[in-house]
Copies of this chain bind each other. A is one copy, B any other.
């Protein structure tokens, strides 16, 4: 028996550390989770973490970056397809909810705790967030240009309203609640689309 106070006693790796950190950061947030908490969760001593990682902040950065990346990977193809804008918007929203359901704890960390990164790391995150916002902006803009959506004087607010609705699901979606990601996605797409419909 090596020493493992916790963890399923496999080999420790940067990935395993990240997995443990996602849980801990999700429960108590980055500044309240100590390296000692993380080392305990993976079954090694605090100093030994630095065999696998360089700094605490690097753990957070990786969680955040590939947490957002998953959304980009899922939504980008839908937005770039040649379907009608309303279908693409619905598809993007459902894709969003699917990723959310699959990576709920990581999403909570990625969307809310990237502000604990140092300024230069935050800039890398902001680039990703802008691309993410840009995908929804694009569908709306194209839908309006084609006459599929009602024109708005304030496109950005329409986008932020939809993203706000979606991002809030981060806080209330329950994977084992009554509704699946698909169902919630369809409901949210319904309200988003009603607000944009040509009458």
Q: By the criterion CB–CB under 8 Å, are B187 and A157 in contact?
A: yes
Which of chain B's residues has its CB closest to A193's CB? B195
Q: Is B157 a contact partner of A163 (Cβ separation < 8 A)?
A: no
The interface on chain A, measured as residues whose beta carbon lies within 8 A of the other chain's beta carbons, has a size of 31
A168 at the interface (CB under 8 A from B): yes
Q: In whole Å, how far is A199's beta carbon from the nearest beta carbon of chain B? A: 9
A6-65 interface (Cβ within 8 A of B): 29, 31-32
Q: Confirm or deny: A109 has a beta carbon within 8 angstroms of a beta carbon on chain B.
A: no
Smallest CB gap from A191: residue in B: B195
Residues of A bordering B, CB below 8 Å: 29, 31-32, 112, 115-116, 154, 157-158, 160-169, 171-172, 179, 184, 187-188, 190-192, 194-195, 197
Cα separation A194 to B194 with both chains bound (whole Å): 6
Q: List 15 A-B contacts (CB under 8 A).
A: A29-B115, A31-B31, A32-B116, A157-B179, A157-B184, A157-B188, A158-B191, A160-B168, A160-B172, A161-B187, A163-B168, A164-B166, A190-B195, A194-B194, A194-B197
Instruction: Choose among B154, B161, B184 the residue that contacts A179 (Cβ–Cβ < 8 A).
Output: B154
CA distance A160 to B168 in the complex (A): 8
B residues near A197, Cβ cutoff 8 Å:
194
Complex: A31 Cα to B122 Cα, angstroms: 19
A110 to chain B, nearest CB (A): 15
